[in-house]
Amino acid sequence: MSIEKVDTLVVGAGQAGVAMSEHLSNCGIPHLVLERQRIAERWRSERWDSLVANGPAWHDRFPGMEFSGFDADAFAPKERVADYFVDYAAMIHAPIRCGVEVMEVRRNVGQPGFRVETSNGVIEANSVIAATGPFQKPVIPTVVPDTADIVQIHSNAYRNPEQLPRGGVLVVGAGSSGAQIADELQRSGKRVYLSIGPHDLPPRRYRGRDFVWWLGVLGKWDVPALEPGTEHVTIAVSGAHGGHTVDFRRLAGQGMTLVGRTESCKGGVMHFAADLVENIAQGNANTLSVLDEADAYVARNGLDFPEEPEAREVGADPQCVTDPILELNLAEAGITSIIWATGFALDYSWLKVDAFDEDGKPKHQRGVSAEPGIYFLGLPWQSRRGSSFIWGVWHDARYLADQISIQREYRAYNPSA
Ligand SMILES: Cc1cc2nc3c(=O)[nH]c(=O)nc-3n(C[C@H](O)[C@H](O)[C@H](O)COP(=O)(O)OP(=O)(O)OC[C@H]3O[C@@H](n4cnc5c(N)ncnc54)[C@H](O)[C@@H]3O)c2cc1C
């Protein structure tokens, strides 16, 4: 049987795969995108029902197309985001084949290129781009044994409050996912405990502009990739209910119990670090630092933006912050479920090439891997802070297409006689 050959193979048709296809086409590079499910699948089936984009529609999109029939300052529901990428792929005539999973990629021996085993046969490719997402494998820390009499799910399996058993819920992690899910559960009438670690807390809007605009003009989205080993600090933002600044003190005022970082669980008793007051204070310090930089930007550029001194007002710490719970007996507190909003890990078990360090992390420079011909796209901090977000991945894809184009030209060179 003849083996299908493509110049460049893109694995995954989320936003990264779609962006990659656009730039490969612009560079005239023949390619194929393989997607095991549907375009932008994770936006449809790995997010909770009420999720809306964290950024307004004018920002959380690709440069080539706006959200049609949607207020540019509003926050698109997750299905609209997925539809956007389906429409975008159609607009650019992206050669996407859905329902085909890439099972294994290996370098050819004694000849260039890669052998790609898929659920639909073998393909050979000169270059392979892994665009399988920044958030692939849900991470649940091994704190509470599976055998415990309590429902435990990761935030990627959370859909809505009705899915949970009666009783209270502990949400672990207060980045954008944890903070929004805890808020939704509390609004549904559940008794909610929220375990808060270190986080950034940008103001949703300030002086008439959304925080995505401020982070843009202040160069924060473009902050270059972190030094190896530097911890990524999660951002707590929400586009829910028209978009608002995440306010943990307000949530506590409405009855939510805030606790520090979750450390361990012994005999049904959860133990939390004594770091809640510090984490809340550090989040507020981050808010104030953004306001300071925004004010300096306004002054430097002589902009006529309305003053907003009330944005600096910080309410008093609620009792659960000043006198935090360090131990909590789950059964006595009536907690019947735990939602782990504790992030994701990468899974490149299908990529059998020399592009990983001893911890299994991709070895790369801006997505160009240590294995010639293999590229990564959509990694957190691939080149900058914005790399794993919608607008950022589009720019990283442009860089990769250029790099692939350069290599193709070298390979095509034929010395004249
Ligand atoms: C809860 C949540 C909310 C977010 N909200 C925003 C937001 O508002 N704005 C924003 O800019 N960013 C947001 N992000 C971040 C980011 O935009 C998303 O994670 C986005 O899905 C990443 O797109 P991607 O294409 O890089 O990866 P993914 O969306 O993960 O796409 C990867 C694709 O690869 C496919 N795939 C995987 N393995 C294989 C294989 N072996 N063979 C074939 N196909 C494969 C998958 O099916 C999937 O469709 C959010 C993330 C989360 C978790």
Give the tokens for residue 108: 């050819």
Whole-number Å distance, alpha carbon 131 to ligand 1 midpoint, is 9
Read off the pLDDT of each residue in 4-14 and give the average, rounded to a whole number.
98
User: At residue 196, does pLDDT exceed 90?
Assistant: yes
* Choice from 42, 85, 340 to test ligand 1 binding pocket (greatest atom count within 8 A of CB): 42
* pLDDT at residue 263, as a whole number: 97
The yes-or-no verdict on residue 1 having pLDDT over 90 is no
Question: What pLDDT is recorded for position 246?
Answer: 95
Nearest residue by C-alpha to atom 29 in ligand 1: 14
Taking 3-state DSSP, the helix, strand and coil percentages for the chain, each rounded to the nearest 5, stand at: 30, 25, 45
- Cα 52 to Cα 74: distance, rounded to the nearest angstrom: 9
> What distances in angstroms separate CA 69 from CA 66, 129, 212, 342, 384, one per listed residue?
9, 33, 21, 35, 31
Q: How far is the CA of 111 from the centre of ligand 1 (A)?
A: 33
Rounded distance between C-alpha atoms, residue 394 and residue 27, angstroms: 14
Percent share of the chain, pLDDT over 90: 93
- pLDDT at residue 139 in the model: 96
How far, in Å, from the CA of 156 to the mean position of ligand 1?
11
On whether the CB atoms of residues 144 and 151 are closer than 8 A, the answer is no
Provide the residue type at 170 as one letter: L
Identify whether the C-beta of residue 186 lies closer than 8 Å to the C-beta of residue 251.
yes
Q: How far is the CA of 13 from the centre of ligand 1 (A)?
A: 9
Torsion over CA: 37, 40, 44, 48 (sign): positive
Mean pLDDT across the chain: 95
Three-class SS state of 311: helix
- Per residue in 76-108, pLDDT (tens digit) is 999 999 999 999 999 999 999 999 999 999 999
Q: What CA dihedral angle connects 241, 244, 248 and 252, to 10 degrees?
A: -40
Distance of CA 107 to the CA centre of its chain: 30
Q: What is the pLDDT of residue 346?
A: 94
Q: Give the pLDDT score at 231.
A: 58
Note the pLDDT of residue 230.
57
pLDDT band at 252 (very low <50, low <70, confident <90, very high): very high
CA of 388 to the centre of ligand 1 (A): 8
Nearest to 279 by CA among 197, 202, 178: 197
Atom nearest to 393 CA in ligand 1 = 26
Within 150-263, residue ranges assigned H as helices are 176-187, 211-217, 248-253
**Is residue 63's pLDDT more than 70?**
yes
Q: Give pLDDT tens digits for 216-237.
A: 999 999 988 766 555 567 889 9
State how far the Cα of 133 lies from the Cα of 18, in Å rounded to an integer. 12
Helix, strand or coil, per DSSP, at residue 121: strand
The helix or strand, by DSSP H or E, that contains position 16, with its residue range, turns out to be helix 15-26
In the chain, the percentage of residues whose pLDDT exceeds 70 is: 98
The answer, as to whether pTM is greater than 0.85, is: yes
Q: How many CB atoms lie within 10 A of CB 188?
A: 13
pLDDT digits (tens, 9 = 90+) for 114-158: 999 999 999 999 999 999 999 999 999 999 988 778 999 999 999
Residue 8 has a CB neighbour count (10 Å cut-off) of 25
- Residue with CA at minimum distance from ligand 1 atom 51: 135
Cα-to-centroid distance, 168 and ligand 1 (Å): 30
Q: Greater confidence, 227 or 37?
A: 37
57 lines ligand 1 (CB under 6 A): no
Q: Map tokens 């507190």 to a residue.
A: 333
Distance CA 409, CA 371 (A): 18
* Secondary structure (3-state) at 249: helix
388 CB within 6 A, ligand 1? yes
Query: Which atom of ligand 1 is least distant from the CA of 42?
Result: 29
Q: Between β-strands 364-365 and 368-369, what pairing exists: parallel, antiparallel or unpaired?
A: antiparallel
Residues 6+ apart with CB under 8 A from 176: 54, 234, 235, 236, 237, 238, 246
Q: Which of 204, 388, 391 maximizes ligand 1 atoms within 8 Å of its Cβ, making it the mutation to test the pocket? A: 388
pLDDT digits (tens, 9 = 90+) for 271-319: 999 999 999 999 999 999 999 999 999 999 999 999 999 999 998 999 9
Q: How confident is the model at residue 2 (pLDDT cuts 50, 70, 90)?
A: confident
SS3 104: strand
pLDDT tens digits for range 334-385:
999 999 999 999 999 999 999 999 999 999 999 999 999 999 999 999 999 9
**What's the Cα-to-Cα distance from 180 to each of 69, 197, 365, rounded to whole Å?**
26, 15, 34
pLDDT, residue 228, reads 57
pLDDT of residue 147: 79
